[in-house]
Amino acid sequence: MKPVILVVEDNPLNAELLSSWLEMEGYEVVAGDGLEQAIAVLRSDQPALVLLDIGLGSDDGLSLVSWMRAQPALRPTPVIAVSAHAMVTDQQRMLDAGCRAFIAKPINFDQLRKEMRRLLPAE
């Protein structure tokens, strides 16, 4: 069974790029373009990992992380923050909010693969 990855990205091109790459890597992808869709997915499914764009239009992606950490069943689900804001202080803010890793845009797919392998249980 393929691990399910939730991609939360409001830019359709970035979402398609991430989804295509993940599928080529052997993952099943569920996508949401904002907080409401992501919460709906998380209430019905429990993905193995969440790739979360932090800048979701007028929404702060970190509010999704806070919501997830308040849900006992979702607390252990790893979140990888994806953001163009790559300063050390930005990265630390994301990690402090409960993200387990940070990937800067444009995405380095080798780094993303490494983080995903680190965070997902071995099959």
pLDDT tens digit string along 8-63?
999 999 999 999 999 999 999 999 888 999 999 999 989 999 999 998 877 788 99
Selected residue with higher pLDDT from 122 and 73 = 73
Q: Please give the helix or strand (H or E) that residue 6 lies within, else none.
A: strand 4-8
pTM of the model: 0.94
Mean pLDDT of 84-109: 91
pLDDT tens digit string along 51-91?
999 988 777 889 999 999 999 999 999 999 999 887 888 88
Residue 121 is predicted with a pLDDT of 80
Ordered alpha helix ranges (H), the chain: 12-24, 35-44, 62-69, 88-96, 109-119
Q: Would you say 72 and 81 are in contact if contact means Cβ atoms under 8 Å apart? A: no
* Domains of the chain, start order: 4-119 (3.40.50.2300)
